[in-house]
Copies of this chain bind each other. A is one copy, B any other.
Amino acid sequence: MKISPSPFAPDTFPDLLPVGGVRAATASRGFYATQSDETRDDVFLFEFVDGTTCAGVFTKSATASADVLWCRKALIEGHGKAKALIANSGNSNAFTGPKGAMKNEATLAALTAQLNIPKPACFLAATGVIGEPLPDPNYIGAFVPTLSARLGPPNWEACARAFMTTDTYPKGSSAKCKVGDATVHITGIAKGSGMIAPNMATMLAYIFTDAAIAPAVLDHLLKNIADVSFNAISVDGDTSTSDTLMIFATGESGAPQITEPDDQRLEAFNAALKSLCLELAHQIVKDGEGATKFIEIMVEGAPTDGEAKIIAASIANSPLVKTALAAGDANWGRVVMAAGKAGVDFDQSKLNIWFEDHQVAENGARADSYDEDAASAVCKGDMISIRVNIGDGLGQASVYTCDLTHAYVDINGAYRT
């Protein structure tokens, strides 16, 4: 089946900033050639200048893919040094047993030989069908020379397209900021549209910067930012086996090397990285399978930020909330239901809910000022903000999601992820 483009698909791919010390190549390995008459790029290779540092956040799934297992190991063994990243779409190499590990070994052997680099500096990713072994273990490895020959300044759009699966548009964002006196550049690309849950599902996001930052500091920044960006989005509550967010810092900007997480010179970088991650996360939600609306669920007044996020996720993941919003129905009672079922205890007589600025629930009952037409008008829009206050503290969190439509059912009945 043909998937219709998201109504949020931009007309053109954004102009992304170059990042010193990064080369890239894309090519077609033919993963999609067998499924349709379309030939498209489905593999990318990145090569980094010597001295590049990195950090990563990965799926919490107990059935994590072979590639995720390797990346976790490489980060530890290589102490956060990166030289190469290779990823393919069309096959996730997840739940492929010993064959999955063999594919990784063959790919790593090809990368280390071709680029003359240490094994733990090579990072791998794959997204697509789960449980299908590749035709042979060297299927990607044998393709490394072809990719390597094409390495050059990144064509970000081509890279962002190469790892798309059910995505209907390529995703990318850039930012720049000062670290010390130097201007540093940050560019990220991401893919993901289904299986998106608070724990980062079928989502791959790679961020490249020419800042000079020690691996432990990158790790610290990335984990905190992931919590409020990629880990705060949900399309369907499902979590993939392959989710990966990585950052690579080449140091080519000439900015001072940052080795401590509390270094004040990181402040602008942290803010820029956070806003870039949030932008990429929003792009993923807006390309949610079948999505026609972008929905922000903001919960405040919880005892802790963590509890606020649990309630926000419960609302964002509720199929009843998502189908009502798909239909433009101001069914605020379902927001009450979804807040109540979250497993966080609260006093419902202190519960207040707003659809945009219109208060729908007030101190445990329908607001006196409730106006069905005003609430409906909010729900008929394509950008909806719902704010919930449980009146029990200062904890707050936002979770971003989309509506649940016929198209979601169609895509996921027809597409073999």
The answer to whether A238 has its CB under 8 Å from any CB of chain B is yes
Cα separation A364 to B409 with both chains bound (whole Å): 28
- Of all chain B residues, the one with the shortest Cβ separation from A333 is B130
Q: Is A404 an interface residue (CB 8 A)?
A: yes
Q: Which of B195, B331, B346, B404 sits near A416, CB closer than 8 Å?
A: B331
| Interface range, A side | 35 or more
Asked whether A270 is an interface residue with its Cβ less than 8 Å from the other chain, the reply is no
Q: Copy number of this protein in the oligomer? A: 2
Q: Mark A71-98, 1 if CB is under 8 A from B, else 0.
A: 0000000000000000000001011111
* Residue on B nearest A360 in the bound complex, by CB: B131
- Contact of A413 with B329 in the complex, beta carbons under 8 Å: yes
Secondary structure type dominating chain A contacts: loop
**In-complex Cβ contact of A131 among B60, B132, B361 (8 A):** B361
Interface residues of A in 176-219 (CB under 8 A from B): 194-195, 197, 199, 201
Q: A366: which of B132, B339, B416 is its contact (CB, 8 Å)?
A: B132
Contact (Cβ within 8 A) A319 B412: yes
A266 to chain B, nearest CB (A): 33
* Chain B residues positioned under 8 Å from A414 (CB to CB): 327, 329
Counting CB contacts under 8 A, is A133 at the interface? yes
Q: Is B413 in contact with A239, judged by CB distance below 8 angstroms?
A: no
Binary contact track A323-341/B, C-beta < 8 Å → 1, others 0: 1101101011110111111
CA gap between A339 and B61 in the complex, in Å = 8
Closest-CB distance, A358 to chain B (whole angstroms): 14
| Given A99-B365, A361-B95, A340 contacting B64 (CB threshold 8 A) | yes
Contact indicator per residue, chain A 350-381, by CB within 8 Å of chain B (1) or not (0): 01000000000101111000000000000000
Q: Are A199 and B341 in contact (CB under 8 A)?
A: yes
Residues on B with C-beta less than 8 A from A320 are: 194-195, 236, 238, 412, 417
10 closest A-B pairs by CB = A97-B365, A130-B333, A327-B413, A63-B340, A323-B412, A239-B341, A61-B340, A131-B333, A236-B319, A97-B364
